[in-house]
Structure 1
Amino acid sequence: MLKPLKNKRPLLILSSLALLGSISTVALTPKVLEWFETRQQAKIETALEEDINQPSLVLTLAEVPEKQRREQLEAIAASKNLSLERSRARYLLASDLLKEYEGGPALRQLERLEKEYPPMKPYILLKRGRGYELSNETDLAQATWKELIETYPDSLASAKALYKLGNYDPSYWDQGIERFPQHPNIQAVIRQRLKENPKQPQLLLLLAKYAANDPQSNPIRDRLVNQYAAQLTPEDWQIIADGYWIVNDYYKAAIAYQKAPKTPQNYYRIARGQQLQPRGNNRETVIAAYRQLMFGFPEAEETALALKRLAQLSPPQTAITYLDEIIKKFPEQAPDALLEKAKLLDKLNGGAEAAAVRQNLLSEYANSDATAKYRWQMAQQAAEKGDALEAWTWAQPITTNNSDSSIAPKAGFWVGKWAQKLGRIQDSQSAFQHVVARHPQSYYAWRSAVQLGWNVGNFNNIRQMLPQVNKPTSRPLPPAGSPMFKELYRLGEDQDAITLFQAEIGYKPTLTVNEGFTDALLKLVQGKNLQGINQVWFLQKKDDPEQQKEWQELRKTDKYWQTLFPFPFYDPITEWSDRRKLNPLLVTSLMRQESRFEPEIKSPVGATGLMQVMPATGEWVANKISLEDYSLTDPDDNINLGTWYLNYTHSKYSNNSLLAIASYNAGPGNVSKWVRRYQVSDPDLFVEKIPFRETKGYVETVFGNYWNYLRIYNPEISQLLERYNK
């Protein structure tokens, strides 16, 4: 008969508790506890890597004010279960408490946290040191920061530890300058030292290199050029020139590039920088600079662009020789050169030769953007004459041969409209379906969806619609940066995230697509909406094939479109839209076009704030609604006044949003003239006839914005589009 094992019961209890994920540490030996902690760390690391899209209550609290989220975080942090959620809650609680100078309670949240939250160990040590500092235990604070530096010598968190230690012993700042000049905290030390002793060119160079985008860096570059030019190496001049170029100080960049290493890009920028000089640019000097590139690097890609610039600067006959050089040596640039050559031949009365060049363009470069432009030009001419068949014939190949062209969405839509006019209903439906499927982000996708009968609103009923909006509940995972940075950003630890990412980028004159997008995310959380949105938009301008591929992949994601079409000021927009009985997405779309959500932005003519209200208009509206004390830069006041005026423009035109939006831009008087002059029964033709180029673009952009907000955030429309894109 077997005797029962004495230790059997505790082992069974331990096993059961482990399965429940709730182990009492009192009953565990150190060895078992270490095994369990290692296992839990592995689980958390796996969760961070593989389950990034799993629901997280903590991440939904990232942008909730600290006091409002305290109770929920405390409840999650008090859980007995080791989990990523509990770790995140404890970290956020500690961070919130430190901001309130509550060192002791923060230390309790941070106790042993590095054991269960591995990706954040360096920052946990940083915050623990701060907790000790606030508790007046400065020896423990310094010891903790020294532990961080010794344990993670290469981590950028160590730069901040060195910065903190420097407050007690300035020799640590020397280490920081030597090891981490790219870190913003260390750059603050450098600036202070330069303030105390300006004659330190090596420190100036560090700022010129690692703080190139900082608004304070141009004076730094100026000092290097004016006071230390003789000491600078070609590599130093490259850093200075790149910095000037980054901040659009092109002429100074051109002068600096003359002393930098001789590369095709530098030669091009020497010429282009001088050409962009607003006053006093010497045309012959610019031409000579472009020609120097042409002869020095005849095969370089920059030379193709230089030849194009030379053609623009030269009389027609000389320009044609430069264009011929492009056609001969640079096949990818040849279509645009052919199209430009044909225009010049027209000026020189070479009609037959120009026709031959255009025929060559059509036959040899059918898939090029230049061919699409030419086809569309001919289609428009035919449409002006009322020949729908000829217009359709010219435009239809664009939809298949040039589907990536910027003209393709518009061409596809009008192919459908012209097919309707010709009675070819099936062809028209196919064309509209093609635009929706192939160009879902375009204004013409909305116009096509209207033609297909989708419930997306039309010009005559869009103001009354109240579309369902499903906003993301947590921040997206940035595509660039370290795991530690990504976690800080998603937690809403913005200052730490921004500082860390800036340090991780270091000296990079040009960011990759993913880095640029990540930087744009950070701009949005800082309220720099204009910069952030525009930065995402210009990601498509990358010339490098690998970067183009990276952009194509990024734009397939929801986060790309949600960042390009964000929802700042969502609550006041919905509140005032509801009061004015306006579609909130229409108001958001107009605001995005007017100000890119910048509350204090002012136009050259004085239009101010989120909805760009003119002071006289604001005063007139304020009198109408008895608003005595207001500010056009106050978001709530601006939206109040702007939505009243948008409602007013709607009332002037029987709630026709096309005319109301056009009137918001051009004024009711101009729109009334256009209504009398042009055919309003076909709104698409009316938009084409708007004589003010700015207003025509404004109308298309505002309603294009509306369509994008609808397709991104409205579940019904996004599901419809998914079916079309399969």
Structure 2
Amino acid sequence: MSAPSSPSTSQTRPPARSLWRRRRTWFLVGGGGLGAAAVVVLLGIWWRSPTPEAAIALRQSDFAELRWQSRFAMDAATRQRARFLYALAIAPDQPQAALQALQGLERSYPLLGPYILKLRAQVQTQLGQDPRETWRQLLNTYPESPVQAEAVLALGQWDLAPATIQRWPRYPASNELARQLAKRQPAEAKRWLLQIAQFGRYRFDIDAVLSELQALPNLTARDRQQIADAYWQRDDYATAADLYARSPQTDETLYRQARSLDLTSQPEVARTLYQQLLQRFPQSPERERALVHLVRLDPANRDRYLQLLERQFALSLPEALGLAAATEPRYRPILLQRFPASPEAAALRWQQAWQQAEAGNLPQAIALVTQTRDRSPTIEAAAQAGFWLGRWQTQLGQTDAAQAAWQWVLQQHPDSYYAWRSAAALGWPVGDFSQVQAQQPAWPQAQSPQALPAGSAVLKELYALGQTEDAWRLWQQEGPSRDPSPSDRFISALLEASISRYDRAASLLKGLPIDSPLRQRSDFVSTLYPVVFKEEITAATQRDRLNPLLVLGLIRQESRFLPGATSVVGARGLMQLMPETAAEVAAELGLQQYDLGDPQTNIQLGSRYLRNVLDYWREDSLFAIASYNAGPGNVENWVRRFGRRDRDRWLEQIPFPETRDYVEKVLSNYWNYLRQSDRSLEQRLQQLDR
């Protein structure tokens, strides 16, 4: 359990604020001079509503305030919460006092009864006392709580383990029970390891579990499907394809085998399997995706696939037409005429607009991007269209229209890369490609937590009190296993971020509908763009004269803040350094021994490499970031081909889509961190909405 920081001796006295409360209380009530009005004021000072918001406020109290509230708060809810938080705060240094604070609390605070007993057992263990009676009390008193799995594990009651696992299969302690049973009962190892493969895919040892499973003899086809599903969920498509080939041939397994081969550069085999799916499963919903992929992989039969999509899965027809139009011009007018508001039509119009602009026909280019902006205002391509609309209008001397175009981008797509470029074009103090390094913005301020938008009362209470690890464990069991709602996705993201799984959190938030009100919450932004490794980044950026928010944005793109991240080509750590690059920079810094898995060291090396490419490109962040991804040699070649006079135009011409996307995302990250840092930017954005 997480806890408030442990107090020093000087913190054991109530703060002056609390003493004033007590003195004022006796003065007002005891003196009797103010009568009923004084009582009303007193209640307003003392009373805390038993809401999640009140719990959030309480958890930010200091040690002495918690102790005071645990004894003298007017309402029982505040006293109970304060006792729990107070016990957590003092447990590391004063376990005996913590044990006294917890005594009997489960009876007056039944909502968190199992967690109070769990904490009591942990403190007893810390004191060298026997906690078994407390764990048994938890088992007997709270049969409806999944925390029972932790009690069974702590007691080693293996006879209860199978029933516990069956009842709460997704609870983390249940999967740890399964792991232990696999070791204790080798004959039943397959059963328990399959349990983990299905329900414990979040475990850090899941790769080892899956490897053990594959090494077992006598695996059935159904077993292999379960293992394949786990690899599919982990994006290990090569292994998944092999296992799906030896699984029961359902429509789902056939599609996943085909798609896995498709994603691992085996298009011919994938095409054959997609075609088999169409023949063998004529009513399957998997046909929809198979048909879309076949439009790309089997051009000779495109018209037939498109006709089938139009009859059976019309919603996917624009995507399929976009794939066809990429290589066959005859499909382009069909796409533009029938689906003018689709993202695929917007992408095609952008290509046409760029060609017109390069040919000097700016009015036609403007007409094309205006169509995208007006017909598809919510898609990502509209931000690009809006920015270039302003650029081309400026070239024609249409200054007022250009200003309006850039303001529209900031209003409609404030999180985008093109919002940053629009802000710079409007003269906002956000830096330009050559000015980013000259800025030294403050670190974003931590945002106050907010209550969860949904979930059980226990989940909301745990989260509000800052017990995020327990909340995450409960959500694994309580949350939906399939088809999550927007609120479910949002809760999952908050809880994943709370245990430092920022990659998973970002992926979940990306799936929220663009018009979801959850996007307006302050914790949406702080979860999507977390501020972490602040000390390590500050030390490295001060030494190498770097903008810390740019480094933060680069880390977010490179590794999603996962210290152990390793790419398919071998890049390692937070800033994804290749071993040979790291060795060169380490030698420059005089480091003979270093560990790329250590965040401080990795950020130190990555920051120095970024400084080196910035020096090479004379502080130009655009060329430096592109070099960080594609290498200075490629960037030099592109500068020779496209020039360096117009940076925006240069970026659009980068021939590597991955590098172009990378640069835009790093600078988009920087922009969103800058918005958190400089609140005046948010005020400007709000003024635009008026």
TM-score range (shorter-chain normalised) is 0.7 to 0.9
Cα–Cα, structure 1 residues 461 and 509, in superposed 2: closer, same or farther, change >3 Å?
A: same
Match of 2:437, SS? helix
1:629-683 Cα deviation digits (max 9, x unpaired): 5444433333333333433433334433223333434444554554455343322
Cα–Cα, structure 1 residues 579 and 391, in superposed 2: closer, same or farther, change >3 Å?
A: same
In structure 1, which of residues 198, 201, 214 is the aligned counterpart of residue 186 of structure 2? 198
1:90-147 Cα deviation digits (max 9, x unpaired): 32443455567x6532211213434664532221122234445555664xx5554444
CA distance in 2, matches of 1:204, 1:118: 35
Q: 2:50 corresponds to which residue? A: 47
CA shift for structure 1 position 433? 0.8
CA distance in 2, matches of 1:275, 1:682: 38
Q: 1:323 corresponds to which residue? A: 306
Q: 2:118 corresponds to which residue? A: 126
Query: Does 1:159 pair with 2:115?
Result: no
In structure 1, which of residues 273, 276, 291 is the aligned counterpart of residue 278 of structure 2? 291
- Equivalent residue letter for 1:450: A
Task: Assess if the C-alpha contact under 8 Å between 1:365 and 1:371 holds in 2.
Answer: yes
CA distance in 2, matches of 1:259, 1:148: 45
Instruction: Note the 1:583-622 alignment, pairs <5 A.
Output: 583-603=547-567, 607-622=571-586
Task: Assess if the C-alpha contact under 8 Å between 2:445 and 2:676 holds in 1.
Answer: no
Task: Assess if the C-alpha contact under 8 Å between 1:601 and 1:609 holds in 2.
Answer: yes
Match of 1:156, SS? coil
- Equivalent residue letter for 1:580: D
Instruction: Note the 1:273-312 alignment, pairs <5 A.
Output: 273=260, 282=269, 285-292=272-279, 295-297=282-284, 300=285, 302-312=286-296
Match of 2:147, SS? helix
Q: 1:651 corresponds to which residue? A: 615
CA shift for structure 1 position 223? 7.5
Task: Assess if the C-alpha contact under 8 Å between 1:244 and 1:252 holds in 2.
Answer: no
1:326-373 Cα deviation digits (max 9, x unpaired): 234433223334444556654xxxxxxx2xx54443333222222212
CA distance in 2, matches of 1:98, 1:320: 70
- Equivalent residue letter for 1:332: L
- When the two structures are superposed, what TM-score results if normalisation uses the length of structure 2? 0.81
Cα–Cα, structure 1 residues 183 and 305, in superposed 2: closer, same or farther, change >3 Å?
A: closer
CA distance in 2, matches of 1:204, 1:620: 43
Instruction: Note the 1:30-429 alignment, pairs <5 A.
Output: 46-49=49-52, 51=54, 55-56=57-58, 58-59=59-60, 72-79=62-69, 80-82=71-73, 87-95=80-88, 103-114=95-106, 117-132=109-124, 138=130, 141-164=131-154, 166-167=155-156, 170-173=158-161, 175-200=163-188, 203=192, 206-214=195-203, 215=206, 216-219=208-211, 222=214, 226-227=218-219, 242-248=229-235, 249-251=239-241, 254-255=244-245, 258=248, 265=252, 268-269=255-256, 271-273=258-260, 282=269, 285-292=272-279, 295-297=282-284, 300=285, 302-316=286-300, 318-342=301-325, 346=329, 354=330, 358-429=332-403
- Equivalent residue letter for 1:723: Q
1:360-413 Cα deviation digits (max 9, x unpaired): 433332222222122112111112212111111111110010112221111111
Instruction: Indicate the larger mover: 191-200 or 319-328.
Output: 191-200
CA distance in 2, matches of 1:600, 1:242: 24
Task: Assess if the C-alpha contact under 8 Å between 1:59 and 1:475 holds in 2.
Answer: no
CA distance in 2, matches of 1:425, 1:527: 46
CA distance in 1, matches of 2:296, 2:379: 23
Instruction: Indicate the larger mover: 334-343 or 149-158.
Output: 334-343
Cα–Cα, structure 1 residues 431 and 387, in superposed 2: closer, same or farther, change >3 Å?
A: same
Cα–Cα, structure 1 residues 500 and 467, in superposed 2: closer, same or farther, change >3 Å?
A: same
- Equivalent residue letter for 2:314: P
Task: Assess if the C-alpha contact under 8 Å between 2:99 and 2:120 holds in 1.
Answer: yes
Task: Assess if the C-alpha contact under 8 Å between 1:416 and 1:427 holds in 2.
Answer: yes
Q: 1:545 corresponds to which residue? A: none
Unaligned runs of 5+ in 2: 1-20, 28-42
Cα–Cα, structure 1 residues 225 and 307, in superposed 2: closer, same or farther, change >3 Å?
A: farther
Cα–Cα, structure 1 residues 409 and 21, in superposed 2: closer, same or farther, change >3 Å?
A: farther
- Equivalent residue letter for 1:258: P
Instruction: Note the 1:425-504 alignment, pairs <5 A.
Output: 425-479=399-453, 481-504=455-478
Q: 1:723 corresponds to which residue? A: 687
How many equivalent pairs are there? 645
Instruction: Indicate the larger mover: 431-440 or 265-274.
Output: 265-274
CA shift for structure 1 position 622? 4.6
CA distance in 2, matches of 1:343, 1:606: 32
CA shift for structure 1 position 715? 0.8
CA shift for structure 1 position 446? 0.6
CA shift for structure 1 position 479? 4.5
Q: 1:579 corresponds to which residue? A: 543
Query: Does 1:703 pair with 2:667?
Result: yes
Structure of greater Rg: 1
Task: Assess if the C-alpha contact under 8 Å between 1:245 and 1:253 holds in 2.
Answer: no
Task: Assess if the C-alpha contact under 8 Å between 2:224 and 2:244 holds in 1.
Answer: no
Unaligned runs of 5+ in 1: 1-15, 23-38, 61-71, 347-353, 541-547
- Equivalent residue letter for 1:121: G
Percent of residue pairs bearing the same amino acid type: 34
Query: Does 1:685 pair with 2:649?
Result: yes
Task: Assess if the C-alpha contact under 8 Å between 2:66 and 2:85 holds in 1.
Answer: no
1:199-223 Cα deviation digits (max 9, x unpaired): 3365455444433554155357648
CA distance in 2, matches of 1:404, 1:561: 19
Cα–Cα, structure 1 residues 289 and 690, in superposed 2: closer, same or farther, change >3 Å?
A: closer
1:580-610 Cα deviation digits (max 9, x unpaired): 3322112212222233223344445554433
- When the two structures are superposed, what TM-score results if normalisation uses the length of structure 1? 0.77
- Equivalent residue letter for 1:402: S
CA shift for structure 1 position 76? 2.4
- Equivalent residue letter for 1:660: A
- Equivalent residue letter for 1:641: L
CA distance in 1, matches of 2:83, 2:394: 63
CA shift for structure 1 position 155? 1.5
CA shift for structure 1 position 571? 1.7
